[in-house]
Structure 1
Amino acid sequence: MKIYDIMKPWEGEWIPERGIDLNSDIQTLRAVDLDIYGARADVTDQEGRKVGEVDIDILKYLVDISTSQVLDSILDKFQEGVIAIDARGRIFYLNHAYSKILDIPIRKIIGKNIRQAEPGAEIINVLETGIPITKQKQYIKTLDKYVSPKIYPMKENGQIIGAVSIFKDTTKEVKLKEEVVKANEIAMNFKRQIEAQQELSKLEIVGKSTEYLKTVSQALIVAKTEASVLIKGENGSGKEVIAKMIHMNSGRKDHPMITVNCAAIPENLIESEFFGYEGGAFTGAKAKGQMGKFELANGGTLFLDEIGDMPFSMQAKLLRVLQTGEIEKIGRQKNVPVNVRLIAATNQPLEDMVAEKKFRQDLYFRLNIVEINVPSLRQRREDIGLFANYYLQKYNQQYQKSVALSPEVLSFFYSYSWPGNVRELQNCVEYAVIMCTEDSFGLEYLPPHMLQPAPSKEGEGAYRGESLKKAVSTFEKAVILDAMGKFKGNRNEVMQALGLSRRTFYRKLKEYEINCDKK
């Protein structure tokens, strides 16, 4: 503490014979005779001019009480760690909190140079630059701890004479916050899954697999925006279902969603289909003209299915509409403004088509602001049984039947590759319900193509001169063994995956002499 901190300013021109130097501090005055005349002492500057007065009693008290032991006692009560270094970087003070927080005994570090004791410490930068540093979170890797330091330079007469760092151990707070963030992420993920399941139920969409729920969750998130969406997936995987879900959960749900299959429109008609035309615009045109898909979807959503089949020449015109928000109708001189949200879908590798100059790169990036991938049925096998039962009920009602699925058929469904995805499964069940003349349909009622295995790489067929019943038995045994390997012999998981009842499952184990003991 400096004398001028307790000095009463004095305004006058009298120069005293005796006084206390303005730059003196309390510690320096401990060894000075303070028997100064009167109840007050004069404070002078370096040129001997009186600049103020101090109360002698206060000054004596401060001199007596200002000892290093008192200062140490005060600082050791701090929960914050304190470290101080001199101008050369040598550590001359540490409090006990510093030792406790960083788990370093004071005797091992006091008196050492900070550059050796803690290379790269922030206090070194403050010592060298004179610029204070405050951080909310600093990680100490060697101790796996977080601290929040406040580091200040110490100056005297404008010169840096050292630096002091005061820091708090925030490890618990930081890790608690990380746990809270993690818990929130888990909760949000669970919430999105619940929302996805609710949306599936509302739209009568079948599915409970993790992969598919993730796709639905992504669709619900992007639905709230106006971003263009590119939906990728195999034919029959349900890309249009996702597109409808996005539209129905968007701000445009009260406006139309117009679907265009780019692969189904002849190239010479695609421009008029998209943009429409005025009456008499060309030979054969309707007298009143025709609105194009963009006009029909105005205010709503335009879904372009199989976008990869769009002619290259048309791609440039589509890009221009997306950039300008206007269409050029055939036979009309003034452009027509349109406001549509674009969703495109494809089963083709557009990235490869861009590289091969078959699809415009600028249009690809324009369409692919958000990409959503719809998993194939092979990637969501746990949904196969759900789909099978859903369509069975639907077509039983439609054709006024009460046909049931046999365990053999359900087992076959779980092992089949489903190249046509959900659409193929739907057609398969409808075919079987129509053709079945019994209470339960077996493999013989499936579409013929499904029972024709694809030839192997060597061109070998599947027929081995055995009966169909024997071939089916061999196939079923292989499927059960494969499932046992996947689920490590867990009976319940194998039964659930194959869609078999407990009685049927154990009957087949006995029939095929399979040991299903859990490893």
Structure 2
Amino acid sequence: MENDLARYKYIFDEILTMTDDGFIVVDKGGIVTDINDQYCDFLGTTKEKAIGRNIKETISNSKMIDIVQNAYREEGVIHKFVDGETKESDNSFLLVSRSCVFDENKNVIAGVAQVKFRLQTLDSAQKLMKEYSELEFYKEEYKKINSNQYSFEGVIGSSSNFLEIKKSAMKASKNSFPVLLTGETGTGKEVFARAIHNNSDRKDKPMVSINCGAIPSELLESELFGYEEGTFTGARKGGKKGKFLQADGGTILLDEIGDMPLSMQVKLLRVLQEKEVEKIGGSKPIPIDVRVIAATRRDLVEMIKNGEFREDLYYRLNVINIEMIPLRDRREDILTFANYFLNKINIEYRTAVTLSNEAKQCFENYFWPGNVRELDNVIKSAYASCDEFVIQLTDLPSKMVSNHKVISLAGSDEKMLKHMVDSYESSLIQEILKKCNWNCQKAAEELGIHRSLLYKKIDKYNIKTRR
């Protein structure tokens, strides 16, 4: 037996000498019992210094003690050495395979690690680590941007009535009661829903949203509650979780809840009451812990009167009600939004486009039926059409400009209809000319007048063209 052990020791030593890889062996207490010269050279140490000492004294972040204590193995993982623990500071990454060693009775007796030193392998490991580091960086940056975009700190607005709503939403984020967000389209209901989630104790859990009006009624149940494999033809292999199960532990946003069919309202009510869902084709209910935020542009109270929405569901959802304010009722925030959206575009395209004073006045005077979403769209459209890095009235939609002109004239001594008509006609001609790239023939055809008449009107209104 002793001769066999000696023989295998010689063979083992020869393998450790011949290999291009580094090897280290520890006992079950983490004491180094063997290490080859290649690994010693990489670590800037010697066998005499390493053997007989705890591996942590040589490699302070080694996982070998954990490997032998918990009896497992891992292959081809990247190990980053602590600064100063390798001979060359720029060589701090290695591909490592580690494993515990069992005896015939399945008892752990040692641990062994192999590291790859071949230049090609090391180079690949460093490239992988670089890509991994970059990926982690971008993930963190995305997380920061995303969390800021949907946080109360990132919510735009300073008007007093808006700040009151923001305060209510921040209070709502400190509990898990259902929230009903109501208000016109484009007032920021989804932004507030995500801000509530991100400011709550559930922020590290999923935030799942579903538009109840965008999914056919026959598919809505499977989208919300999921289904078991083989429930119907075309069902996904392994079945489907459903939005409620995906949001377990977190928050679900039921957007446009007012568009949910009555048949689904009954099933949703049961889920909210029982706090459990049952997949289509499932045999037993599944407990869930989900905070529900619902949003709608519709008047649910009126729908209840008309028999279009269940009253009991309404009271389940409307524990905390937050009524979003239309943009026209927070006019001091209009230019704040306009500059915010314009600044985002300027950063993206490295430009410095600004709003003219007339354009700013036009923004402030406009009714904004589409609220913030419409304002964002107008800014993008105006940016795309403006010249000389300044957005003028001619870059804005005619309905905005005509409204602005009428308001401007109504506030002056010139209240005659002729002046209003002339003002509107002038802005309309400028808009058509721009649309036709200042081609008077095309503009005249678009307006349905003769080109000579167009020239007269251009002179009459002193419109600057590129003729």
| TM-score (normalised: structure 2) | 0.55
Q: Percent identity?
A: 49
Q: Which of 377, 380, 383 pairs up with 1:427?
A: 377
Q: Which amino acid aligns with 1:283?
A: T
Cross-structure match for 1:466? 422
Q: Deviations over 1:391-444 (max 9, x none)?
A: 111011223322110000100011100000001101111111122122211111
Cross-structure match for 2:207? 257
1:355 aligns with 2:296: no
Q: Which of 294, 306, 310 pairs up with 1:344?
A: 294
CA contact (8 A) 1:328 1:334 kept: yes
CA contact (8 A) 1:237 1:376 kept: yes
Aligned equivalents of 2:401, 2:426: Cα separation in 1 = 14
Q: Deviations over 1:214-264 (max 9, x none)?
A: 011001111111111111111000011111111111111110111111111
Q: Which amino acid aligns with 1:249?
A: N
Aligned equivalents of 2:402, 2:248: Cα separation in 1 = 48
Aligned equivalents of 1:274, 1:462: Cα separation in 2 = 59
Aligned equivalents of 1:310, 1:386: Cα separation in 2 = 35
**Residues 462 and 226 (structure 1 numbering): CA distance in 2 closer, same or farther, change over 3 Å?**
farther
**Residues 235 and 277 (structure 1 numbering): CA distance in 2 closer, same or farther, change over 3 Å?**
same
Q: Which amino acid aligns with 2:292?
A: L
**Residues 304 and 202 (structure 1 numbering): CA distance in 2 closer, same or farther, change over 3 Å?**
closer
Q: Which amino acid aligns with 2:288?
A: V
**Residues 202 and 357 (structure 1 numbering): CA distance in 2 closer, same or farther, change over 3 Å?**
closer
CA contact (8 A) 1:453 1:462 kept: no
1:232 aligns with 2:182: yes
CA contact (8 A) 2:366 2:403 kept: no
CA contact (8 A) 2:224 2:242 kept: yes
Q: Which amino acid aligns with 2:370?
A: G
Q: Which runs of structure 1 show a deviation greater than 3 angstroms over 4 or more consecutive aligned residues?
A: 198-203, 447-454, 461-465, 467-472
CA contact (8 A) 1:377 1:384 kept: yes
**Residues 299 and 210 (structure 1 numbering): CA distance in 2 closer, same or farther, change over 3 Å?**
same
**Residues 201 and 230 (structure 1 numbering): CA distance in 2 closer, same or farther, change over 3 Å?**
closer
Structure 1 runs not aligned, ≥5 long: 1-197, 473-519
Aligned equivalents of 2:151, 2:308: Cα separation in 1 = 40
Aligned equivalents of 1:408, 1:369: Cα separation in 2 = 45
Q: Any residues of structure 2 matched to 1:88-487 within 5 Å, and which?
A: 203-451=153-401, 465-468=421-424
Aligned equivalents of 2:385, 2:226: Cα separation in 1 = 45
Aligned equivalents of 2:151, 2:208: Cα separation in 1 = 23
**Residues 244 and 201 (structure 1 numbering): CA distance in 2 closer, same or farther, change over 3 Å?**
closer
Q: Secondary structure at the match of 2:218?
A: coil
Aligned equivalents of 2:268, 2:299: Cα separation in 1 = 19
Aligned equivalents of 1:234, 1:350: Cα separation in 2 = 13
Q: Which amino acid aligns with 1:466?
A: D
Aligned equivalents of 1:290, 1:332: Cα separation in 2 = 11
CA contact (8 A) 1:273 1:292 kept: yes
CA contact (8 A) 2:151 2:199 kept: no
Structure 2 runs not aligned, ≥5 long: 1-147, 407-416, 429-467
Aligned equivalents of 1:210, 1:285: Cα separation in 2 = 51
Q: Deviations over 1:279-333 (max 9, x none)?
A: 1110111112111000000000001111000001000000000011111101111
Q: State the shift of 1:203 in Å.
A: 4.1
Aligned equivalents of 2:346, 2:214: Cα separation in 1 = 32
Q: Deviations over 1:33-68 (max 9, x none)?
A: xxxxxxxxxxxxxxxxxxxxxxxxxxxxxxxxxxxx
How many residues get paired? 270
The structure with the largest alpha-carbon Rg is 1
RMSD: 2.5
* Structure (1/2) with the larger helix percentage: 2
Q: Of the two structures, which has the highest relative contact order with CA contacts closer than 8 Å and spacing of 6 or more?
A: 2
Aligned equivalents of 1:462, 1:226: Cα separation in 2 = 60
**Residues 349 and 202 (structure 1 numbering): CA distance in 2 closer, same or farther, change over 3 Å?**
closer
Q: State the shift of 1:467 in Å.
A: 4.2
Aligned equivalents of 1:444, 1:199: Cα separation in 2 = 32
**Residues 469 and 448 (structure 1 numbering): CA distance in 2 closer, same or farther, change over 3 Å?**
closer
CA contact (8 A) 1:321 1:327 kept: yes
CA contact (8 A) 1:396 1:433 kept: no
Q: Which amino acid aligns with 2:360?
A: L
**Residues 200 and 332 (structure 1 numbering): CA distance in 2 closer, same or farther, change over 3 Å?**
closer
Q: State the shift of 1:202 in Å.
A: 5.9
Q: Which amino acid aligns with 1:277?
A: Y
Aligned equivalents of 1:432, 1:440: Cα separation in 2 = 10
Q: Secondary structure at the match of 1:315?
A: helix
Aligned equivalents of 2:418, 2:371: Cα separation in 1 = 23
Q: State the shift of 1:468 in Å.
A: 4.1
Aligned equivalents of 1:328, 1:200: Cα separation in 2 = 31
**Residues 326 and 201 (structure 1 numbering): CA distance in 2 closer, same or farther, change over 3 Å?**
closer
**Residues 331 and 463 (structure 1 numbering): CA distance in 2 closer, same or farther, change over 3 Å?**
farther
Aligned equivalents of 2:423, 2:149: Cα separation in 1 = 47
Q: Secondary structure at the match of 1:231?
A: strand
Q: Secondary structure at the match of 2:252?
A: strand
Aligned equivalents of 2:245, 2:418: Cα separation in 1 = 54
Q: State the shift of 1:447 in Å.
A: 3.3
